[in-house]
Structure 1
Amino acid sequence: MKLSFNEFSFPLALAFVNGLIFSVLCWIRGFREERKSDIWLGFVILSSCLAILDYMLGFMGIHVMFEEFLFFPYNIGFVIGPLIYFYLKSQLNVDFSLKRQDLLHFLAYTIYVIYHLLVFIQGRDFTRNWSDKVSYPYHIADLEVYLSVISNFTYLFFAIRLYQYYVKWLPTQFADIDTLSFRWYRRFLFVFALAIVVDLVYLFLGMYGLNLSFQDIWWEKMLIACIIYYLCIKGYSQIQPKHLVFKPETQKTQEKVKPEISIPDLENWKNKVLKGMNQDKLYLNPDLSLSDLANQLKTNNSLLSAVINTGFGKNFNDFVNEFRVKEFQERVLLPENQHITLLGIAFDSGFNSKATFNRVFKKTTGQSPKNFSNCQAD
């Protein structure tokens, strides 16, 4: 059999091989460094590769997926949504582990696989006969497609909602949120949503009798190939913070039940917090989190968060970074620091990224660090 590498098959094959390699790399790093998110990411990439396998082989002149493997369960419609959702959960919580009730998310995919395998193992003739006389006449195949689209939209909603909860929670726990914001995942969710919509468009076109050619459907497969590249490059290079533990169910409970603090207690705790910041300069720790500060003050996260929110009218992120901005403003005026760059002084003041420093300084002072420095020099 002669393989045909052409303008249709080659980009799909390249993305497929690239995806397989990065899936293995994710699993190796995941088990070696105990990064559960990498293991989930590996399965997300592998599933995306399976989504282009049939047409990749078809454009190469291999039609085994449409003939001998006609009923083989390679469709990822029921599994890609849960995989993406649990990947995000494991990325946002290093302590995340799959619980028994979480297995229900894979129930639809399990039923799909069992059903297709039971038909597939009966042989090629039985499979064709089943497709022609049962699966299509009784709209079982159509039902699978509709339910998989609903599943994808459902888990897209779950993932977006989880990410929104996380973005809201992040400034209350960390002073540097830029490196923990996972903005690439937000863009990926947008692309994933686009892929679902495109799939839905193709579905409607087929429902209304438009016979799409192999070349027409290639564009949908090429979009998935681009998603594979994006996952491999951005997903694999994404950091996994060691102390990131986001539990949305716990967060909701804490928002409903906040500790009541009397005025004397509040003033006392405000003084303790200010002492830690002004005298001990705890904000100079670039990785300072709410948990770190709570441990230093020998209290818990909930109480400390309430003190900062109620007593100072700020979230943890704004509260800590205002001290860092003040520290920078003082250090930039010192003669011994004239040879140090503004970014170097910012790092000495507790910031650990240029993006965070510029954004926070502009938000706090209304001007850029460079403009502030020039004004002081004048």
Structure 2
Amino acid sequence: MDKRSRDAVQTGDAVDTKRRTLLKASVASGFAAATGFAAIWPQGARAAEFNYKFATALDVAHPLNKRAAEALARIREITSGRVDIKLFPANQLGSDADTLSQTRSGAAEFMTLGHGNLGNYVKSSGIASVGFAFTNYEQVWRAMDGALGAKIRQDVARTGRIVAIGGLWDNGFRQVTSSTRQVNGPADLKGLKLRVPPNPAYTSLFSALGAGPTPLNYNELYSALQTRVVDGQENPLALINTGKFYEVQKFCSLTNHIWDGFWTLANRDAWNRLPPDLQKIVGTELERSVRDQRTDIAALSKSLQTDLSSKGLQFASVDSGAFRSALAKTSFYTEMKEKYGEDNWALLEQAVGKLA
């Protein structure tokens, strides 16, 4: 059995009936190969009462998927197979918008979604994407594990369709890469055609700094860089690495312009179908993996610059304060405050200090 077939079993890829039968005996070994750890299949496990899907947008190799797979395996073990949640990484169920629609309707039960993209549906979530707001992780977790995160979680629940489960997965601070020039300060962004996620927070930020933001889905990004549809992009180092953007980019500026994280969202009705004891198990094990994954990203961020440098990417450290000062001379922060409202803005500034 080849690796692709093994991965397909564990990520939920559709396979024909004959292949399912042939692979049944080797599911456990396939799971281990796909996730990098030994799967645990309890003796005498009963048929699952709850068969759920868990979708992510990130590449299979990303730490979020590794830790999510571990959580799902533990959930299966602890519940003696009553809860069987299958992982679908790398946009296998569609784009973020597609998967959110499925999660809202119940066609998918769980998903991870970046706080910026969630902001298209739950407005307050987008405030965590305000450019150059967070300057370090102490501020990030003070806000997102604290009052601001609690407010966003309440707003998610008010939609009536989805609920937010546990804390946010870390995806690191976002950095700017380019095939044409190094970005050493705000002036270097002028006219740079930069791919951004299809989210107003990103287009507003880079428009205010004079760049030419071009919204594209992540799965279109490598091709757009390769064919020079865009000059550059911005992503955390982990995604720059797993996406192999170093193959088609030359420069990387450590701008730390936006912190990136992912909520775990669940369809409300699917979540409520779980009895309280199973909700507790699922929530506890997901939160355990969230904490482990945050540690992974912290360690990975320290090693990735060296690794990416060896692959040809040229790094520059920049003064993020210069970018914040440039934004302060525009209407950017005032507009963001008006957009998200006085109450949400006050919660953000409690964690990061005065912005506007």
Q: TM-score range by the shorter chain?
A: under 0.3
When Rg is computed on C-alpha atoms for both structures, the one with the higher figure is 1
Relative contact order higher in (CA < 8 Å, ≥ 6 apart): 2
